[in-house]
Structure formats: structure tokens, C-alpha cells
Amino acid sequence: MPTEIPDIVISRLPVYLRALERLTQEGQEVTSSHELGRRLGISSAQIRKDLSHFGGFGKQGTGYKIAFLKEQLRQVLKVEREWNVVLVGAGDLGSAIAHYRGFSDRGFHIISVFDNSAEKIGRKLSTYDIEPMSQLDEFVTEHDIRIAMIAVPAEHAQQVADTLVKAGVKAILNYAPINLSVPEGVHVQYIDPVLHLQRMTYYLSE
Amino acid sequence: MPTEIPDIVISRLPVYLRALERLTQEGQEVTSSHELGRRLGISSAQIRKDLSHFGGFGKQGTGYKIAFLKEQLRQVLKVEREWNVVLVGAGDLGSAIAHYRGFSDRGFHIISVFDNSAEKIGRKLSTYDIEPMSQLDEFVTEHDIRIAMIAVPAEHAQQVADTLVKAGVKAILNYAPINLSVPEGVHVQYIDPVLHLQRMTYYLSE
DNA sequence: TAGATTGTTAATCGATTAACAATC
DNA sequence: TAGATTGTTAATCGATTAACAATC
């Protein structure tokens, strides 16, 4: 059995992948753990250790072929494929998310948007028709959706999450400023920009 | 001298604060490390240990008075005051940020928006006039701005960061999908939603 | 008083780093 | 071959957890 990879290692792989993509854009074809580490502010030892969990991707003396390493990381992370996701919430925040190009550029396609406000249902949000929440369950099941984004007010987020999980969603990107409780096996990541700002003000002098 | 508080402790305080605000909304006045831990999926010991870095905020036998603890955490984090921030980048992403209410609701006020596109300058973005990048330096200096948000394309982000730092900014919330290099004493937090999605796909079965 | 929960110390656990043999 | 850099093991470091005396 393959030994369990620590979550913290997995969480760094997308950062490595992003840096490698940047290096490619800059026209580079080979890199080393030292160069990558310098760019990311991480020790070279950590990068080598992290990568070694998945195999030997480099060559002693020369480093890593960027194209190859990128491909390997994409496969490990399962982002070499395209993913369909649903977005729940068509308010200010949902609207911003729906208009953001970065998701489909990088393989995550929003295929439907849901909201419970009678006046929004049927209207367009970016290129999407806003669907009623009552159809969320059925839609997720039928399209075998694994990933959802929640952009509803905090007080509805848990209930939306429950519906999503019941319908089979296994990964939730939660923009509501609240911790969700989900069963084992369901993954949640949080985005709350204010929280990031609050992590920095501590260090600011008067 | 007060012993150095680990960054990881600081990074959890806003999460505690957010949970306490939620409890207040639900009408609760007192809580315990156990209850908080259960809500957040964190051990009660960790919460007590984290809080104890800053003083004894609770009472044996009864727990923590929420209003008091919130106030203490706000002061520790320096979010009991209001902060002015600048936003650089008025594209899709910058536009979404400018329209987002959550920042000023929680004490972070965007007071100006900058972009380098000739066609955007002078136009309105939400309630803001878009200013030319050439005035960024002067504006930051004059208004003694400490916090900035970067929402420009990856290839310009480092250069924007350099300008900001030179003008005196000490905290950057970076939405561009690239690692910034900044001098010691300048803090950067990153927001890249795709990266969060990529941290979950690893765990999804075929 | 009895029950509950804090604040803190000591023990455990896990992650990071240092170091180096292997090898390109 | 000499120089460079990987992959990996062992050592270090730091964070989390367990446990409990103090005390409300």
C-alpha cells in the first residue's frame, strides 16, 4: 500500500505547479530544487522531499525537466483533466465568481449557477441561466458533479453544504465566512479575503 | 521582552474571531474552548494554548465571555480600528474586488483604485475613480497607506509590488497567481481560488 | 461543596532541515 | 573526470496534544 501522503505536502504541489508554469512562460526548460526554492521562499530540501513522495522526477547533476515535472504533478493532483463545478449563490460574490475567467482557463468549468431568490431565477449571470435551488440536488446527481463553490450568505451556507454533500459533492470551495461541518471524506477549502488581511494587521506598527 | 508569537498562532486568531462573531449573532454570550473547538474542528487544547499567548481571557469553570474575548482579539490583531487600503488593477478581478461589500463591512476601506490602461483611467469602478499608476507612489506616501491589494496580471505583479513597497506599503493581499518577493518586514498573503480547487482534486476518486 | 473549565507544563507527534552517498 | 544536484536518511526543530493543578 502506498504510504499516506501528508495533506500539507499535497497543499504545496499546486504552488510548485504554478511556479513551473511561470518558468515555462519565461522560456525556461529545466530547473532545480534550489531555483524553485529561491523563487518560492521554501528550502530546496523541502521541495525535493515533497516531490520524492511521488517518485524520482529529476536527474542528479542536472535537475528537473520542467515540462515533465509539470505533467507528473498535474497527474498526481488530477488536474490534467477538466472538472465541472456548480456555483451556488448569485449575489455580488457569486456574480464576481461567475465572471472570473481564471477558473475555466485552468480546467474548472462552472456549468450551472443556483440561487433561491425568485427575482434572480431565470435571469442570466454572465453566460449562465440562474437555476432555482430546488433543482440543485437533481442537477448535481445527474451530472455527477464532485466540486461546488458556495457563495451564499453565512447563515445559509451550512444548509447548502448539506444539500450538496447529500447529492454527492466531495469538494467544496466555500466563500461564505463560516466554518462548515461536513462528513469524513468531503473536503472543504475556504476563501475569505478579510481573514487574510486580518492576518497581516497584527504585524503593522502604529 | 514579550516572547515571539508563532505566525501560525496569529493566523488562527482571525478564525476564532470570526467564529465568535457568529456565536454573537446566534445570541450566545459565553463559550468554552471545547465548544469553539468543536465548531472549528480544532482541539480545545490548541485554542486555550493559542489564547494564553496573549493573557488569560477566560475563567476556570465558566469559559470565555464572548464580547470580552472578541474585543481582546480585535485589539491583538489591530482590527479594532479602520484601515485604508488601495487596490491596484481594475480589470475583471479588480472590478469584482471593488464591488465586494465585505471589506468595508469589516473595517477595510478601499480608498483608491489604480490601473495603467489609458482607456480605464478616469472612468468609474463601482464608486471609485480609476487613477493612473503613475500616481500610485505619491498617493500611498501622502495618505500613509500600509495595505494594498494587487489584482493585475501575473507578469506585472512583481513590479507593482516593488512600487508599493518603495512607497511604504507593509502588507499586500496578492490576487495575481504568482509568488512575490518582498523585503523583510513586508507581509504578503495570497488568494488564488484555483489553487484551492487543485488542493482538493487529489482526493477525488475517478 | 461538587462540577466544570481554564492556563500551563510535559510528552508526543510530525514536519523541516542538514548532510551526504549516489549518479548524471 | 570534476562539478552539480538529486533522493533519502538521520537529526533537529517546532507544533500539537494530553494531563492536571488551580480556581471559578
B residues 174-193 closer than 8 Å to A (CB): 177-179, 181, 187, 189-193
List the domain range (segments joined by +) for residue A145.
83-195
* Residue A191 and residue A176 share a domain: yes
Task: Give every CB contact of residue A25 below 8 A, 6+ residues apart in sequence.
Answer: none
pLDDT score at A1: 41
Nearest by CB to residue A173, choosing from B22, B96, B196, is B196
Any B CB within 8 A of A99 CB: yes
- Domain C-terminal end among A76, A97, A119: A76
pLDDT of B94-137, one tens digit each?
A: 999 999 989 999 999 999 999 999 999 999 999 999 999 999 99
Q: What is the pLDDT of residue A206?
A: 73
Q: What is the pTM of this model?
A: 0.95
Percent of chain A with pLDDT over 70: 99
Residues 46-85, chain B: which have Cβ within 8 Å of A? 76-79, 83, 85
Q: State mean pLDDT over A149-173.
A: 97
In a domain, A36, yes or no: yes
Average pLDDT, chain A: 96
Is 90 exceeded by the pLDDT of residue B206? Answer: no
Residue B1 — very low, low, confident or very high, per pLDDT cuts 50/70/90? very low
Of B39, B147, B202, the CB nearest to A197: B147
- Same domain for B154 and B100: yes
B201–chain A Cβ distance below 8 A for any pair = yes
Does the pLDDT of residue B79 top 60, yes or no? Answer: yes
CATH, residue B42: 1.10.10.10
CATH number, domain containing residue A149: 3.40.50.720
Looking at beta carbons, which residues of chain A come within 8 Å of B147? 197, 200-201, 204
**pLDDT higher at B129 or A206:** B129
Which chain A residues touch B192 with a CB distance below 8 Å?
18
- Residues of chain B contacting residue A106, judged by C-beta atoms under 8 Å apart: 194
Longest dimension (CA), chain A: 64
Cα torsion through B154, B155, B160, B163, rounded to 10: 140
